[in-house]
Structures are given as structure tokens and as C-alpha cells.
Amino acid sequence: MSNLIFSDSFINGEFYKTDTRFSVDDPATEKSIVNVSDIDEQGVNKAITAAQGAFSKLKATNATERSETLMRWYELVIKHKQTLAELMTKEQGKPLKESLGEIDYGAGFIKWYAEEAKRSYGDVIPATDNNHRLTSFKQPIGVVAGITPWNFPVAMVTRKVAPAYAAGCSFILKPSEHTPLCAIALAYLADQAGFVKGAFNVLVSQNAKKVGEMLTDSEVVRKFTFTGSTGVGKQLLSQCASTIKRTSMELGGNAPFIIFDNADINDAIDGLMAAKFRNSGQACVAANRIFIQRNVLNEVLEKITPKIAALKVANGFEEGVDIGPLIYPKAKEKVQQLIQDALNKGATLIGDQRDLGGSFQNPVIITNVTTHMDIYHQEVFGPVLTVIPFDNEAEVLALSNDVPYGLAAYFYSQNIKQIHRVSEALEFGMIGINEGVISNPVAPFGGVKQSGLGREGGHQGLNEYLEEKYVCIRI
């Protein structure tokens, strides 16, 4: 693993050191992995200049060249899959088997956009008279800056950088200060794959606010992409307004998971386990409010309770572990506060609530949840199953949609008419029907309402980094 652990920002194909350093810690052991350089203003400006120079070169390349470079990057990521997965588990905490899965998922974006780079088509537009020829074609938008979170430290990076490079854009990335090591490793491998120097820069810093301000204020940066909380997303959107940047924002969620009484209950439980407990519940698309039709509530609880009790909570490197630590102690404190608030307001706890120490949180079920509880309205970001009974379709649709967020939703039903009705009525950007894991590089990922703007993945993800130019020729 040590051959891909780097401790400095990566700018213009080189490592950039500063005297100020901070520790990246293992959330399982709470011990330092490495002390990394904290970027200074000079480094941020150097990255902007490097990205500007790289864009001048990159936009002159053709789609086939960029495709081949991305394929080399993909091959290197797969070659170093084990090393990257171990690094991810070390700095993020998720079980190694999940880290291995994320490397495949993250690499899938690189491969998809290596292919999609060659499919950026324009249009021949039928003219309204015989004297003109009308066409349109697409060009890269320019220098892109992005901020990524800690929960998926490889996939969140590749699904932004890969389409940007495929389009011909250079990129400046500010990864989470909790998980910068995977991002630096990815940039190093991209450089080894032949990326244009300065086309993928990584800025490591504890001061996300300052770095964000410098990037959003820059006239050179023409596009800003962010994955994180809605509150921070709103602030970044405001900052981008002064320079009229293109933006894409993948923000918070509060995903409903609905089990109708006609569902295949065993399948629904399997889907719920995946949608809730992957990455210890630390996912923006994690099932957050579990709606179970009242006449199957007891059956679902009887079947799922022993499955949850059997989940192994431990260091992600241990054999057979299902749930690793939360990212840091404050994350656990927030989960504990949400649980206690619910219990104080009449909810019931099912499961082992012993304190496991450190950032480890036992998975539990909270039943009798109402709309008056904080846990109903906030993303839990932890292994807590929040159960709300309902009586009919109209009621559960009203409850599901009565939040400011609209990222992902899930429901289980065997009634084809109901499937069509509910999928159309749910106010969410992504719907899983009889499926608990919906993310896929070839499909558009994104939300509506206060869950964000734009899409990542699919052919839509490439268009986020392209401008369309219309050409009118008089003949």
C-alpha cells in the first residue's frame, strides 16, 4: 500500500509541499496515517495557472487521444485495485470488500467516459430557407474546479474528472481533508497514464472555505462541481454567481424506502439492507425514512431484526466485517443525538445500543417514528433504520414528498399499475423499484429540489462539461 501513499498536493504533474501540515487519521484506530501538506494561497494560484495552461493544450487534442489516455488511466486503477482499496479502508474506514467494490465502480466511470468521449455529437439543423446551412457542435467549457466528500473517496473523484477530461477540460480538485490520499493517488496514476500536465490537480487543505472562495472567485475557472451538503452547496452557488460559472451540485438527500403490502418481502428486506447499511449508512442515497405498510410491518420487523443483529461492526480490515467506523467521533455524536431525540419523543429502539467506543456505531432499528422527530427530517448518515408505518398509497406519497430534498427514492411493489403511478408521483431524481442499489456509471445520477443541479454519469455527465456552439452559414 505504501507505494501509493503521498503526502502533498499534486499540481502540474508534480508534488507541491508546504511547511504547514496536518494529520490524516484512520477512523478505526484513530491513529495518524500520514501528515500531509496544507495548501497555501500560492499553491492554489499555481494550480489555477497550471489548469489554464493545460486547457489550452487539452482542447487541441482529439476525442480519440483523450479516450486512449482515459483507458490507460482505467487500466492503472484496475492494476492497483487492491492497493487503492486498502488505502481507502485505511483513511475512510469502510470494510475492505466495500472498498474493492468502490474501486470497480469508480473505475467504471473512467471506462465509460473513455468510450463516451467519442460520442459527443453535434446537430445538422434543417434550415428555414435555401440560403442557409445551420449546424451546432460541442466544445469543452474550460477549467473546472470541484470539491468532493469523504464518503466515496474514489468514485466521487472519477465521476467528475473522467467526463471533464473526456470533454477536453482541465480540473482542479479539492478533496475532503479526511480522505485526500485516494485523490492524490488517482492524480498520480492519471499522470502516469499520460494526462496533459496540469489537467488534473489536487489541492489538499483543512481550509475548504478559503480554497473554495479562491476557486469560485477565479475568472479562469469556468465550471464548478460540488458533492456535499445542501447548506454548503447554496453558499458555493452564491459565490459562483459573481462570475456566472456553470455549476453542477449533488447535494443532500432524505431518501424514502417504501415497502407496499404486495411486495416480495424477502426481496424488499435484502434491498433495504443494501440501501441502508452500505458504507455504514454514510451515503447521500442511503435509505433514510423506511415506510412500511401497516399490515406487513410486523412481518418485516421480525425478518429484518435478526439480520441487523448479525451485522459485524469492526475495523474494515477484519474478516467478515459488515460495518466499519463512522468517519469521525462527531459523526457518531450526531447519530446518537438523533436517536436520543427520537426516543425522548416516543420512538422505540430495537437492537444493541451499547457504546462500542471510538467512532463505531451499532446498527439499530427505531420504530414509531413521527414527523415531529429530528431523525425524520435529517440525513442520519449512520446505521440506523428509521421505521414509519403507513396505511395507503396516497398517504405514503404525501409523506415521501414532504421534504425539501429529492435525490433518491426506493419502493418495493409487485403491482405494475402501482409501479407506474408511484414512480411518476415521487419527486426524486432517481427511483429504485424492487432494487436497493441504483448507482451506475452509464445512468444519470442527480436530484431535484434542494438535492442539486445537473447530472453525473451517463451521456448527460459529459454534457455538463461541454458548451454547444451554433453556426449559421449563408450560402
**Annotated catalytic residue 284:** yes
The angle formed by the CA atoms of residues 417, 420 and 422, to the nearest 5 degrees, is 105
First-to-final CA distance of the chain? 63
Q: What is the pLDDT of residue 3?
A: 84
Handedness of CA 56, 248, 77, 91 (dihedral sign): positive
Q: What is the pLDDT of residue 2?
A: 58
CATH number for domain 2-251+451-474, candidates 3.40.605.10, 1.20.1050.10, 2.60.40.10, 3.40.50.450: 3.40.605.10
Bridge partners of 223?
144, 246
Decide yes or no: CATH 3.40.309.10 for domain 255-441: yes
Q: What is the pLDDT of residue 340?
A: 97
**Annotated catalytic residue 250:** yes
Spell out the domain ranges in the chain: 2-251+451-474, 255-441
Of 343, 347, 336, the C-alpha closest to 383 is 336
**List of residues 6+ apart from 252 with CB closer than 8 A:** 229, 230, 284, 379, 405, 407, 450, 451
Bridge partners of 139?
467
**List of residues 6+ apart from 46 with CB closer than 8 A:** 11, 12, 16
Residues of the chain with pLDDT under 70: 1-2
CA pair distance 445, 250, nearest whole angstrom: 9
**List of residues 6+ apart from 298 with CB closer than 8 A:** none
Let me know if the fold of 2-251+451-474 is the same as that of 255-441.
Answer: no
Going by their DSSP bridges, the two strands 143-147 and 171-174 should be labelled as parallel
Catalytic one among 86, 91, 116, 250?
250
CA pair distance 217, 242, nearest whole angstrom: 8
Q: What is the pLDDT of residue 96?
A: 98
pTM, 2 dp:
0.97
Catalytic one among 98, 169, 284, 456?
284
Q: How many CB atoms within 10 Å of residue 163?
A: 32
- Cα–Cα distances (Å) from 121 to 69, 108, 138, 363, in that order, read 20, 22, 7, 48
